[in-house]
Structure 1
Amino acid sequence: MFERLGRLVVHNPWKVIAGWVLITIAIVAFAPTLSDVTNSDQANFLPADYESIQANQVAGQAFGQSTQATATIVVKRQDSQVLTGGDQSSVGDLATTLEGARIDHVERVVTGKQFLSRNNKVQLVNVGLKGRPDDPALVDAVKDIRAQATKALRGSSLEYAVTGQVAMQADNSDAFNTALLIVGAATIVLIIGLLLLIYRSPLAALLPIFTVGLVSAIAPGLVAWLAQAFDFQVDQSVQIVMTIVLFGVGTDYIVFLLFRFRERLRDGDDPKTALVAAVARVGEVIASAAAAIIIAFMALLLAVFGAFTSFGPGLSIAVALMALAAVTLIPAVVSLLGTKVFWPSKSWQRAPKGSVFQRLGKFTGRRPAVVAVASGGVMVALALGMIGFNTDYDQTGQLPSDTESARGLVYMQLGFPTGALNPTSVYVKADSGTLDQKALTRYAQELQDVPGVGGAMPGPTGLPFTTNKAGNIAKIDLLLDTSPYANESLDLAGGPLRDVAHSRAPDGTRAYVGGLSSVFADVRDANTRDLWVIFPVAGVLIAIVLGLMLRSIVAPIYLMLAVVLGFFSTMGATVIAFQGIGDRAGVSFMLPMLVYLFVVAIGTDYNILMIARLREEAKEGHDPRTAADLAVEHGGPSVGAAGVILAGTFASMLLAGVSFLMEMGFAVSLGILLAAFVMSMFLVPSVTALLGHAAWWPGHSDRATAKPPTERRDPAPVA
């Protein structure tokens, strides 16, 4: 099949290129954009059966603020002493000034005695904002609030800081934008630089930039078109992840093809014949690798967390498009260029003698047991780092310490529990009639007595609760002793606090625990559930793809075991680096899924390429150990080159200076290096050599279809 496709493409390059150009024009000109099919109200939220979402719905019914954002102004004296009566009046004047400033998206500004700390050292001003916390327009509102507050308090003995979720977003927006520019520029420079180093040719170096750029222009429109046709949801953030994935898999596929093309040229084939043979050999690898990645991405549809499900279809379509380009568009371009694709280098004319990969191949063939134990041992040792694994939901930990929102948290701790930034709200809804205020007061006190709760924030009337106009729903804002993002707060809001809230609720009422800590407690549960469902399902489906490709049961089993070990090795090393050496409370809760997306899915490419090469060498008539030797010699350079390039692009995130991006850059780049250089280059060939013919059971995929070359290496001695 791929040989026929190769002949068609290589001998009709202009028709293939013209077809791609017409498709690009049609999609760019007529297809909808991703924003046309984005549903921001559903994509990033938990299902309605989670308690935090039910609490938000009750809040919306009662107070109409279930999706509104807030900013908190923390005011204290410059000498950190008790606020005087005059100071408190100045804080009230600040609220009045902000209320009258008519700042866009500011709906209300509230302060008073109920916002004064018990030790009278800190007073809060609560600013209600119109819009969702992730609305970019609110960043400008926070900047205007800060400008007005600076004017209002100028010359006084008071100082302030605006903090809260929106303020954190405002403080981090510039840092993230700068980081993305650095990462984007570094990615392109690294890809071009590494390909120049590998091929010593500007054309070969620019080929991925051209191809991925073209596919990146087509993919969003195609995804949007199919989303409308098949009614699936996508999220706007898919665009960023899609670009990273396309650069990753696109560069891999191009490297695989060019290495095989160059190898056939060195064997004496003319350029057209060499390219047809390269497409025939690598086409199956690319198709199988793309199928594995698509399955891994589509398994995300099994998630209950909307942020994960929105990635599946869009990324799968993009990978399928990139795989199609790799076996059609790229060979068509290379067919026109011929050997000039390697210009001005002459390295394509001669095979290197005594290369590193030749030596590594010989050692693997001669000592497969030693190589298997050593490579497997390295991965197991790194995987042990998972013993100390903790997830971190603390967004405040991502903040640089010199930002205003971080300073506001420090001010707040002078007088309030840490959880005052984002109260945990308990909503009480009467089954019928109105609520009993005496019963609510007793109930609020029982909630405050729960260990870990630092108190309750009084409502406008001074009572520890706020009721709606109908009097049938009440809100009790609890202040936890720890940060609302900390695991202790999540444990409390999702465990003991919910138990007490439900069991002690006044007769004839039902209680719901909401607020940020409750939301993240549910996100954590959903995340854990998704990991336990998605990983096994994707693993089984990828193993089936491998089984069909290899016509074997044994090989897919140890290949997938190697992939699982690679995942745990990557996560273990990241835990050691950031929790052990870096002394952080945990790694980002999103990291396991990102490692799954970029290491497990894309890293499987290298396993497929290597196992396909092992089978090819066996079919050439080589014994298992010689096949392992030759597979490392010939397949190792392409796997190594692809791994270095892809790892280098993610390593550029270490320059970002933002904690989450640094974690992601470290984990993914290390995971890809482990997948390429430890798992695919050493562990898989050595285990295959040790198993011999049994690796291909029950089929005969290794059965020789040709006699071994007359000039061949001596058989590798038994280890």
Structure 2
Amino acid sequence: MPLLVLGLWVVLLAVAGPFAARLADVQHNRATDYLPASADSTQVAKLQDRLPGGESTELVLVYHRAGGLTAADRTTAGRQVATIAHRHTLSTAPRGIPSADGTTLMYPVSSNEPGTDEKRRDAFVDDVRQVAHGPGGLTVEAGGPAALATDASGVYASLGGPLLYTTVAVVAILLILIYRSPLLWLVPLVVAGIGDFLARAAAYGLNQAFGTTVSGQSAGIMTILVFGAGTDYALLLVSRYREELRRHERPYDAMRAALRGCGPAVLASSGTVAAGLLCLLAADLNSSRGMGPLGTVGVLCALAAMLTLLPAVLVLLGRRVFWPLVPAHGSTPTARRSLFAAMGSSAGRRPLTVLASGAVLLGALALGVLNLPGSLKQLDAFVDRPDSVTAMETVARAYPERSAQPIEILTPAGRADTTLAAVKGTRGVVSAVAGRTGDRWTEITVTASAPPQSAAETATIKALRHRLPGSYVGGPSAQQLDLEDTDARDRLVVVPIVLLSVLLILIVLLRSLVAPLILVAAVVAVWGAALGVGGLVFGPLFGFHGTDPGLGLLSFVFLVALGVDYGIFLMHRMREESLRGAEPAAAALTALRTTGGVIASAGLVLAATFAVLTNMGLVPLVELGFVIAVGVLLDTFLVRTYLVTSASVALGRRVWWPGRLSKAPSAGRERVPEPVA
């Protein structure tokens, strides 16, 4: 049987190979891949694709000398801009705009060259940067929407390799420390890598069949989920397999017993995680909605690999895979007082005190949410500030009277003149120019007087939308406004769906109402505390100037789904002990003692894999990775070990209400075990 399973996996990987390699080809990081599906700014981006030349590539060349530009500087700028105009098809001839203080010369440049949008944009920006350079103290930088998008796309493109290698290295180090074996750590790591390969093929299939959005963010998080969740399942299985090897002589029999013992918990936990992630399909934000299916694919591929391929490989390798700590048949593990036994004892002696103290601590940490910085601006989204950001900062200082980021309006071609007049009459508008016309739409480019993504510019965008019914108002600042509004809407819709879905699944699995409510309340408290810790460090320690609008929703979905995952491990063993006739307090403490080490190891691995995101170059990824890593650690070492155990001890049999386990067994009647969910 193990050889048959291994052969089937070889065939599966041979079939999946060509598709996995194509995932990078369908990965996109354009604005429409992240914008709300129904927003004005999304419609602008889509309509621009249908205009002659497609979506325009807008950037700003910024020439700056602190002591003031010289005549030679202006000649250099003019010559370089002429070279760019000669080498590329530009929408209009670039005109230099000097700053009032004479230190800066700005050239807005717009291209509509044909070609694949992202590749065309990046090639154009890269070529402009090669042409434009400043000698002798003259700084020349390319900014604007296209340059910012190219720099962000470069960071996302670099996620694949570095993210995978760093994740593998982190998981490998932790597995070596956990298993203390020169061979055992390699087996789950290789199987997780195979699961990731299969997940990439499945993600490509989803994209081709259903048009699922694949972005650098969603693909990277899918890889982290495969390695994090997959390693968690491997830890639980290997731990149970080691126990069973002491009871069974043949590794095959031991593995069958291990799968019967922990398989239901692994299936239930992975199903809960998948269900929680699929709730993101209710989001209107393209990036969030696309992450749901990809995350689900990652978890299910990790599950398939760890429950089929990993057992087959372990059985074929036999007991020697555990060397030098080989579990001999009939042996008894060395008895020693574990950390989790000590934790269980303290929770068992004073459960209400422990419960109250933990709740106060989580509540105090959650107060840090009040210190979270405001919404993250586009210019503050990079950890290391690229040229596109410094260029826009130079423009903001040199041209305080105007914005360097255009507001794009798409209006029906028959109303172009009326719309243009209304735009020019709107407060906060410096200039407005009618651009391309095609497919019954006309593009109008607007320059606002206020800095990008300021309160005044936001007011101008809202005023334009109010005054121009039937037209669409977009551009970078409008996109950011739509992101914030849609994230607020998605939180109101998705959060209740996630809570209800997870709660219903837990009720079915645990055959109780009280235990699921405890688990759900615990993970919500962990989410609030983790966000609070973020509020305490994002600004003061990391120096971030804003919080990504999607942080609250994504961190909630991941922490609730993954946190309940560990709760199922603990409650499953507690229920198993109760079915064997143990008293409630004894069942809770035994469950903690036997699963605490595995849950702690799994929590460390999962937190470490998400912490890899903090080494990436974009602030939204750093914030998401930090909050999830902190939340997993809080959940692992505080909530699961102390609070859930204390609540179970304090409630006794009532934790299983209204199921059969909530009723005391009749005197003199032997309990008949019921199947474990």
Please state which band the TM-score falls in when normalised by the shorter chain.
Answer: 0.7 to 0.9
Match of 1:712 in 2: none
Distance 1:319 1:476 in 2: 45
Distance 2:406 2:343 in 1: 59
Q: 2:321 aligns with which of 341, 349, 355?
A: 341
Pairing 1:517-528 to 2, within 5 Å after superposition? 517-528=477-488
Q: 1:421 is paired with a residue of what secondary structure?
A: coil
Q: 1:209 aligns with which of 189, 192, 217?
A: 189
Match of 1:619 in 2: 579
Match of 2:392 in 1: 409
Distance 1:467 1:658 in 2: 33
Residue 477 (str. 1) matches residue 446 (str. 2)? yes
Q: Kindly state the Cα deviation for residue 51 of structure 1 after the two structures are TM-superposed.
A: 2.3
Pairing 1:25-174 to 2, within 5 Å after superposition? 25-28=14-17, 33-34=22-23, 44=33, 46=35, 49-56=38-45, 64=52, 67-80=55-68, 88=74, 90-100=76-86, 102=87, 107-108=90-91, 110-112=93-95, 115-129=97-111, 130=113, 135-136=118-119, 138-150=121-133, 154=135, 158-171=138-151
Identity over aligned pairs, percent: 27
Match of 2:464 in 1: 501
Match of 1:631 in 2: 591
Pairing 1:356-505 to 2, within 5 Å after superposition? 356-399=339-382, 403-417=386-400, 420-426=403-409, 429=412, 435=417, 440=420, 443-444=422-423, 446-447=425-426, 449=427, 453=428, 456-457=430-431, 464-466=432-434, 473=442, 475=444, 477-484=446-453, 488=455, 492-493=457-458, 496-501=459-464
Q: Kindly state the Cα deviation for residue 557 of structure 1 after the two structures are TM-superposed.
A: 1.4
Distance 2:22 2:98 in 1: 49
Distance 1:311 1:53 in 2: 18
Q: Kindly state the Cα deviation for residue 620 of structure 1 after the two structures are TM-superposed.
A: 2.4
Q: Is the 8 A contact 1:182 1:655 kept in 2?
A: no
Distance 1:638 1:188 in 2: 20
Q: 1:543 aligns with which of 485, 503, 520?
A: 503
Shifted more, 663-672 versus 268-277: the winner is: 268-277
Q: TM-score, normalised by structure 1?
A: 0.82
For 2:228, give the aligned amino acid.
G
Distance 1:584 1:40 in 2: 23
Q: Kindly state the Cα deviation for residue 568 of structure 1 after the two structures are TM-superposed.
A: 1.5
For 2:655, give the aligned amino acid.
A
Match of 1:306 in 2: 286
Unaligned runs of 5+ in 1: 1-11, 458-463, 708-719
Match of 1:460 in 2: none
Match of 1:711 in 2: none
Residue 15 (str. 1) matches residue 1 (str. 2)? no
Structure 1 residues 43-66: Cα deviation after superposition (integer angstroms, max 9, x where no partner): 7154664222344466667x6466
Summarize the Cα distance change of 1:250–1:691 in structure 2 as closer, same or farther, 3 Å threshold.
same
Summarize the Cα distance change of 1:602–1:96 in structure 2 as closer, same or farther, 3 Å threshold.
same
Structure 1 residues 254-302: Cα deviation after superposition (integer angstroms, max 9, x where no partner): 0011112223445677644432222112111111111111111211111
Distance 1:147 1:241 in 2: 34
Structure 1 residues 459-481: Cα deviation after superposition (integer angstroms, max 9, x where no partner): xxxxx433667999572513253
Q: Kindly state the Cα deviation for residue 246 of structure 1 after the two structures are TM-superposed.
A: 0.6
Distance 1:220 1:183 in 2: 14
Q: 1:353 is paired with a residue of what secondary structure?
A: coil
For 1:123, give the aligned amino acid.
L
Q: Is the 8 A contact 1:620 1:705 kept in 2?
A: no
For 2:302, give the aligned amino acid.
M
Distance 1:254 1:80 in 2: 64
Q: Kindly state the Cα deviation for residue 668 of structure 1 after the two structures are TM-superposed.
A: 2.0
Q: 1:233 aligns with which of 192, 209, 212?
A: 212
For 1:68, give the aligned amino acid.
S
Q: Is the 8 A contact 1:412 1:418 kept in 2?
A: no
Summarize the Cα distance change of 1:522–1:657 in structure 2 as closer, same or farther, 3 Å threshold.
closer
Distance 2:612 2:465 in 1: 48
Distance 1:18 1:577 in 2: 50
For the aligned residue pairs, the C-alpha RMSD in angstroms reads 3.6
Q: 2:601 is paired with a residue of what secondary structure?
A: helix
Distance 2:121 2:473 in 1: 26
For 2:42, give the aligned amino acid.
I
Structure 1 residues 55-107: Cα deviation after superposition (integer angstroms, max 9, x where no partner): 4466667x6466222221012345136x76x765654333212212x25xx53
Summarize the Cα distance change of 1:504–1:172 in structure 2 as closer, same or farther, 3 Å threshold.
closer
Distance 1:510 1:272 in 2: 68
Summarize the Cα distance change of 1:208–1:537 in structure 2 as closer, same or farther, 3 Å threshold.
same
Distance 1:288 1:542 in 2: 11
Distance 1:55 1:515 in 2: 8
Q: Is the 8 A contact 2:239 2:598 kept in 1?
A: yes
Residue 684 (str. 1) matches residue 644 (str. 2)? yes
Q: Is the 8 A contact 1:43 1:235 kept in 2?
A: no
Match of 1:717 in 2: none
Summarize the Cα distance change of 1:58–1:188 in structure 2 as closer, same or farther, 3 Å threshold.
closer
Q: Is the 8 A contact 1:36 1:224 kept in 2?
A: no
Distance 2:619 2:116 in 1: 21
Q: Is the 8 A contact 1:133 1:166 kept in 2?
A: no
For 1:198, give the aligned amino acid.
I
For 1:13, give the aligned amino acid.
P
For 1:380, give the aligned amino acid.
G
Q: 2:629 is paired with a residue of what secondary structure?
A: helix
Distance 1:369 1:267 in 2: 38
Summarize the Cα distance change of 1:480–1:641 in structure 2 as closer, same or farther, 3 Å threshold.
farther
Q: 1:604 aligns with which of 557, 561, 564?
A: 564
Q: 1:135 is paired with a residue of what secondary structure?
A: helix
For 1:240, give the aligned amino acid.
G
Match of 2:629 in 1: 669
Q: Is the 8 A contact 1:575 1:587 kept in 2?
A: no
Q: Kindly state the Cα deviation for residue 430 of structure 1 after the two structures are TM-superposed.
A: 7.1
